[in-house]
Amino acid sequence: MTTYSIEDHQEGTITYRDKKRYFWLISVFMPIFPLTGVILFYQTGIEWTLCLPLLINYTVMPVLDWLIGSDTNNPPEQLVPQLEADKYYRFLTYATIPLHFVALFIFAYVVGTNDLSWWAILVTAIIAGGYSGLGINTAHELGHKQTGIEQLLAKITLAVPAYGHFCVEHNRGHHVLVATPDDPASSRLGESIYAFTLREIPGTFKRGWNLEKSRLNKQGKSTWSIHNDILQSYLMSAVLQGGLIYAFGLVMLPFLAVHNFWAWYQLTSANYIEHYGLLREKKDTGRYERCQPHHSWNANYIMTNLALFHLQRHSDHHANPIRRYQSLRNFKDIPELPNGYYGMYLLAYIPWLWYRVMDHRVLALPHINGDLSKVNICPRKREAIIARYGAS
């Protein structure tokens, strides 16, 4: 196992080994994990076997998070430059990209060449979309980096879920206005995930397009041109998904429609749980305070972090967005989710249960301490929430 070390004149020799170094391969192979259901289907001919990955996501993964527990260790800050310079970690994100394409093609082949019942097509599209949603996570890690190759690879990866505006909107929109009422990608206390979906998906698309249009206008370039980063990715999506329709017929139209929406919904689900109810202070100047670790919900659960390139250490990510996944840190006294993302998604899909679990956690945070003026509240629910929890 690789050891990183440095001599410090105060602390002597500092060494660090990433015990999760080879376990990060779980993130690489996650996009093709659902093919286990496909293999079982071809061995047995039983359509229900296609549901296996969906059941594992929402039952086994939350239980594994609970059983395996959390990892709150941080790499020594003095060694982070060495850790981030290690090309092994970068290679893992590169290696994941073709697997997103492979998984989508295989699922399309299963639907296009078998006489499946309508519900099997629906379930297969949902599973394919869920794992293509991981492509947005891969693009998220790549798109934050300041190298041309990684930003290009992010656009290519986003062609799979057909979400080409993500990097533009996320980097220049969400990260600027996160945890504020002005951000369509930050959920509010009392807002259900379904109401959030209707606000977030169109809101982020519109913001991403306007940001890219503004960038090109400043450069004197046409919005409708090859210079448009969003159109570049969507053109690749059109070729990819158009090719699947040509190869496997019109059954691909409902399959891809469900696939694309469910992939987008995975990002929406992540955005919903990552900033629920959190609010940055607005200064007298009209500008918001700098984003701090306590403006994002964090999760240190080992299993799902290994499956998601450390996405769940979201507090450090928003405070330091160009930091690479292997060096993201845990902090004390920050918002902590009671389970990993898959468990929290399932909870969010049942709004009354979500509110019961999460609302009191928001109000109990040290920097909020029951003060509703420090909470991002759903405007339609404001009076009811104040009546329930009391004005500070």
Task: List all residues 6 or more positions away from 303 whose beta carbon is below 8 Å from its beta carbon.
Answer: 61, 64, 65, 68, 340
Distance between CA 229 and CA 214 in Å, rounded? 12
pLDDT in tens, 197-221: 999 999 999 999 999 999 999 999 9
209 contacts 164 by C-beta, under 8 angstroms: no
Structural domain includes residue 210 = yes
| Residue carrying the six token digits 């073709």 | 98
Structural domain includes residue 9 = no
Number of domain units in the chain = 1
Residue 310, both tokens: 């450390």
| Residue 64: φ, ψ to 5° | -60, -40
pLDDT tens sequence for the chain (392 residues): 688 988 777 778 989 999 999 999 999 999 999 999 999 999 999 999 999 999 999 999 999 999 999 999 999 999 999 999 999 999 999 999 999 999 999 999 999 999 999 999 999 999 999 999 999 999 999 999 999 999 999 999 999 999 999 999 999 999 999 999 999 999 999 999 999 999 999 999 999 999 999 999 999 999 999 999 999 999 999 999 999 999 999 999 999 999 999 999 999 999 999 999 999 999 989 899 999 999 999 999 999 999 999 999 999 999 999 999 999 999 999 999 999 999 999 999 999 999 999 999 999 999 999 999 999 999 999 999 999 998 65
Host domain of residue 90:
26-362
Structural domain includes residue 295 = yes
Structural domain includes residue 367 = no
Structural domain includes residue 375 = no
Structural domain includes residue 383 = no
Q: Give the closest residue to 30 by CA, choosing from 152, 148, 134, 156.
A: 134
Structural domain includes residue 19 = no
Structural domain includes residue 78 = yes
Q: What is the Cα 48 distance to its own chain's centre?
A: 28
